[in-house]
Chain A
Amino acid sequence: MSGAIDYALWIPVLPIVAFPIILFLGNVFKGTDAWRGRWKEGGTIATVVMGTSLGLSIWLIIGYIGQVTGHESVGQVGNWLSFHMVENGNLVSYSFGFGMYLDHVSVMLLFVASFLCFLIAIFSLGYMNSDPVNLDRNHRFYAEFLLFCAGMLGMVLADNFLWLFIFWEIMGLCSYLLIGFYYERPSASYAAKKAFLTTRVGDVFLLIGLLILWNLFGSLDFSVVWAEDNIAAVDAGTLKIALFMMFVGAVGKSAQFPLHVWLPDAMEGPTPVSALIHAATMVNAGLYLVARMYPFFASPAMSGEFTDLAILIAWIGGITAFMAALIAFVQKDIKKVLAYSTMSQLAYIFTGLGAALWFANTGHEEIALLAFGASMFHLFNHAMAKGMLFMASGSVIHEMHHAHHEVAHHDGEHEGHGDNDHFDAQDMSNMGGLASKMPITATAMAVGSASIIGIPLIGGFWSKEGIVGAAWKACLTPGGAWMLGPALLVLITAGMTGFYMSRMWFMTFAGKPKTPVANGVVEQTPFIPIPLVTLTVMTLGGIVFAGFEFVHWVADGHAEMHFSHVLSGIGAEMSHAFLPSGEENGGLIYLVTMLTIVISTIVGPGTAMALYGGRLQKGEKAKPWLAWLVSLSARVRKNNHFDNSTWANSGLAESLHQRLHFDAWYDSAMLKIVVPFANACAWFDQHIIDGAIKGIEYGSQEGSSVIRRLTTGSGRDYIMMAALGTLAIFLLIWGVA
């Protein structure tokens, strides 16, 4: 471990150092062949740097898992800021430092972040560099990408809340820069501003929460703040307020209701950005923050104080999950479906965390650890799967664009780029039948969707069941009646997830191509398949992780992963999932689990197949496992197709198209309240405050022109004035004397 520790600081520092280097080189060598070719406009540097960070991370993780139990604080540098405060008439000295904190949660996230950053860098080599619209500005992309990675890695490693916040904001900045990458587009510029401002609102809450926290504990270091004695010594009410404020910050960053409005618009950014920031890493920051609140909830001194906060967390999760899934029903844009899916799945994790925190605060430590572990495992699975899904969708969009170019030019009309914008390469109603043309992408997307849906044995299944189970266990435990809402919502949403994810897959890959462009699609871009294949394997390998008792390990600081007993571990997990356990309410929970499996695996996808399934075009052959899926969908459609036009044209659908009107409300609040108030202030400043000054100016000038009349220019008047003045002085002196 010691060897890896020495270099651990390089994990976030290397990308930060490379960021200005790429900017500088990009400016100097812009347009040259070597820079575009071999250096991939900075992509090579970015990939190498992230690869090195990944290597260092893995080295660190291996050392950690092998040698350390519990947590470890390393590399402390004190006195970044040192100061004093007045306490009871004395000056007490405090300081903020910087160090790294490793425990099971941060190690897991470190792996997720560095692994995905690396894979997405490779993906970008193919995606960004082969798109002519990005020519000569990719260096900006790679530089901002590296800065973001540095922010995420730094946040995961930080050992106090201040540096967590600092890196949190850095990620916010990069999100702004990257969403607005195509800044010449008004929609992109608007989306970037919206994202920054919405998360800013959350950040202010988080900041205030940290201020309260500091004033309670005198420090923001994890080791101080989580110490049992310190927690016991502070006021529970104030701590609850602090935690609530921090939670609002997490709501903003992870795009939960009501600060969710920025995530769909954020799809304006290039696809690697969506994959990295808005699926795999940045939105996990909010979850990481809530996870870091666990010790407060688990503290015996605070037992029972925070239950309402935990229930609130679960409710927000439940509401967002349901709402996002509902809106995903009507989305035509493939990236928007994934965006809402992200929102929904993150909400799942919030629900799981809410349940875990509730259990922790009511003294059910073992169940709390299981629920917490399930939530973290779901974070892991979701990050892998969603990152892959976005990359796969990027692959589809990319090839659609290429095909559009071919089609447009083949027709002999050399249309300019402007015309391309009219053809929406992201619209699923332009796709169809791509399973045979894009085998790798289709497989990746199928596996990813399966993981998200929770198809048994594949990635997300293991964690999702844990979350649903935890929520139901909570509502069945005495005192947990309020958890019924989230539990129900999460159950229903499982089915909905099955529907909309399958809908997405079948609209894109099954059936016949709906446009000539879709017909001409070929999977040809280099580099893109690499991350897709890697992550497919990872997702399918979720079962192995489950076998490691990953869930247990993540939650419990003292647990260990049992690498040697993988098979028995897998067996234990399987029995855990598919057989009723003997515990309290075990029967009901088992029923719920089975119900979830049924609706998410059979009802949801089945309905989607019925509406959107279909055989491939004649003469097209897909890979065997894809072909099976497509023909299944064709059969279901033939037998069970029903008309959904009443649903599609209903008022509810219309409302969903408007994203349930939240965006419109927020926009009009800004326009109707804030902007007029600002204009009023500006008017007030110019006319009233400055008006007073101008009044003084005017008054003094008028007064001066009145007094000036004394200077008549006539000598006689002056002599008179002199004489009178002398007389006055004489009288004064005479009077005084």
Chain B
Amino acid sequence: MIDPMWAVVLGVCLFTIGLWGAVTRKNAIIVLMCIEIILNAVNLNFVAAAAQHGDVTGWVYTVFAIAIAAAEVAIGLAIFLSFYGHNETISLDEMELLKH
């Protein structure tokens, strides 16, 4: 078995990539994908911890996180689709309705 630490490292890298993408990208769908990457990184972290300690709690958290990520993507996509229907764009730069 590889050292679970490597999984954590991979997780950190994935987290950074995902975070960078979520903050930087213009396209809303891409941002959603990046958030998925973040969530996957977190899942990796949990699994690694579970593997290291042999505690099933980690896997339970992972299953929860996957389910919640799926629900969140569904809602997010629905919102963006509806927004596109009104405004013909899903560029985050142009979603400024809540500006002060």
A adjacent to B, CB under 8 Å: yes
Which residues of chain A come closer than 8 Å to B95, judged between CB atoms? Answer: 713-715
Whether A723 and B23, one on each chain, are in contact in the complex, defined by CB atoms closer than 8 angstroms, is yes
Whether A716 and B24, one on each chain, are in contact in the complex, defined by CB atoms closer than 8 angstroms, is yes
Residue in contact with B98 in the complex, picked from A713, A716, A719, A720, CB distance below 8 Å:
A713
Q: How far is the CA of A360 from the CA of B25 in the complex (A)?
A: 108
List residues 85-100 of chain B with CB under 8 A from any CB of chain A.
Answer: 92-93, 95-100
Which residues of chain B come closer than 8 Å to A714, judged between CB atoms? Answer: 92-93, 95-96, 99
A274: min CB distance to chain B, Å: 75
Which residues of chain A come closer than 8 Å to B8, judged between CB atoms? Answer: none
> Does chain A have a CB within 8 A of B44?
no
Which residue of A is nearest B93, CB measured? A714
> Does chain B have a CB within 8 A of A639?
no
**In the complex, how many residue pairs between chain A and chain B have their CB atoms under 8 Å apart?**
37
> Does chain A have a CB within 8 A of B41?
no
Whether B100 and A708, one on each chain, are in contact in the complex, defined by CB atoms closer than 8 angstroms, is yes
Q: How far is the CA of A708 from the CA of B98 in the complex (A)?
A: 11
Given A719-B31, A723-B19, A713-B99 contact (CB < 8 Å): yes
Whether A712 and B23, one on each chain, are in contact in the complex, defined by CB atoms closer than 8 angstroms, is no
> Does chain B have a CB within 8 A of A67?
no
> Does chain A have a CB within 8 A of B48?
no
Whether A716 and B23, one on each chain, are in contact in the complex, defined by CB atoms closer than 8 angstroms, is yes
Which residues of chain B come closer than 8 Å to A723, judged between CB atoms? Answer: 19, 22-23
Which residue of A is nearest B35, CB measured? A719
Residue in contact with B92 in the complex, picked from A708, A710, A715, CB distance below 8 Å:
A715
Whether B23 and A711, one on each chain, are in contact in the complex, defined by CB atoms closer than 8 angstroms, is no
Which residue of A is nearest B19, CB measured? A723
Which residues of chain B come closer than 8 Å to A716, judged between CB atoms? Answer: 22-25, 31, 92
Q: How far is the CA of A712 from the CA of B92 in the complex (A)?
A: 12
Most buried by A among B22, B23, B31, B99: B23
Which residue of B is nearest A712, CB measured? B99
Which residue of A is nearest B28, CB measured? A715
Whether B96 and A719, one on each chain, are in contact in the complex, defined by CB atoms closer than 8 angstroms, is no
B25: min CB distance to chain A, Å: 8
Q: How many residues on the B side are at the interface (Cβ–Cβ under 8 A)?
A: 15
List residues 704-730 of chain A with CB under 8 A from any CB of chain B.
Answer: 708-716, 719-720, 723
Q: What 0/1 pattern do residues 217 to 228 of A give for CB contact below 8 A with B?
A: 000000000000
Which residues of chain A come closer than 8 Å to B97, judged between CB atoms? Answer: 713
Which residues of chain A come closer than 8 Å to B19, judged between CB atoms? Answer: 723
Whether A720 and B92, one on each chain, are in contact in the complex, defined by CB atoms closer than 8 angstroms, is no
B33: min CB distance to chain A, Å: 13
Most buried by B among A709, A714, A715: A715
List residues 1-54 of chain B with CB under 8 A from any CB of chain A.
Answer: 19, 22-25, 28, 31
B87: min CB distance to chain A, Å: 14
Most buried by A among B24, B28, B100: B100
Q: How far is the CA of A723 from the CA of B25 in the complex (A)?
A: 15
Whether B24 and A711, one on each chain, are in contact in the complex, defined by CB atoms closer than 8 angstroms, is no
A722: min CB distance to chain B, Å: 10
Q: How far is the CA of A720 from the CA of B23 in the complex (A)?
A: 6
Q: How far is the CA of A712 from the CA of B31 in the complex (A)?
A: 18
A704: min CB distance to chain B, Å: 10
Q: How far is the CA of A714 from the CA of B97 in the complex (A)?
A: 9
A721: min CB distance to chain B, Å: 10
Whether A719 and B93, one on each chain, are in contact in the complex, defined by CB atoms closer than 8 angstroms, is no
Q: How far is the CA of A710 from the CA of B100 in the complex (A)?
A: 8
Whether B100 and A715, one on each chain, are in contact in the complex, defined by CB atoms closer than 8 angstroms, is no
Which residue of A is nearest B98, CB measured? A713
Q: How far is the CA of A709 from the CA of B100 in the complex (A)?
A: 6
B45: min CB distance to chain A, Å: 13
Q: How far is the CA of A715 from the CA of B31 in the complex (A)?
A: 10
Whether A711 and B92, one on each chain, are in contact in the complex, defined by CB atoms closer than 8 angstroms, is no
Whether A713 and B22, one on each chain, are in contact in the complex, defined by CB atoms closer than 8 angstroms, is no
Q: How far is the CA of A716 from the CA of B22 in the complex (A)?
A: 7
B8: min CB distance to chain A, Å: 15
Q: How far is the CA of A713 from the CA of B98 in the complex (A)?
A: 5
Whether B23 and A713, one on each chain, are in contact in the complex, defined by CB atoms closer than 8 angstroms, is no
Q: A residues bordering B, Cβ < 8 Å?
A: 708-716, 719-720, 723
- Give me 11 A-to-B residue pairs in the complex whose CB atoms sit less than 8 angstroms apart, sorted by A's number: A708-B100, A710-B100, A712-B96, A714-B93, A714-B95, A716-B23, A716-B24, A716-B31, A716-B92, A719-B22, A723-B22
Known: A712-B96, A713-B98. 13 other contacts (CB 8 A): A709-B100, A710-B100, A711-B100, A712-B100, A713-B100, A714-B95, A714-B96, A715-B31, A716-B22, A716-B25, A716-B92, A719-B22, A720-B23
Q: B residues bordering A, Cβ < 8 Å?
A: 19, 22-25, 28, 31, 92-93, 95-100
9 tightest A-B contacts by CB? A713-B99, A713-B96, A708-B100, A711-B100, A713-B98, A715-B92, A720-B23, A719-B22, A716-B92
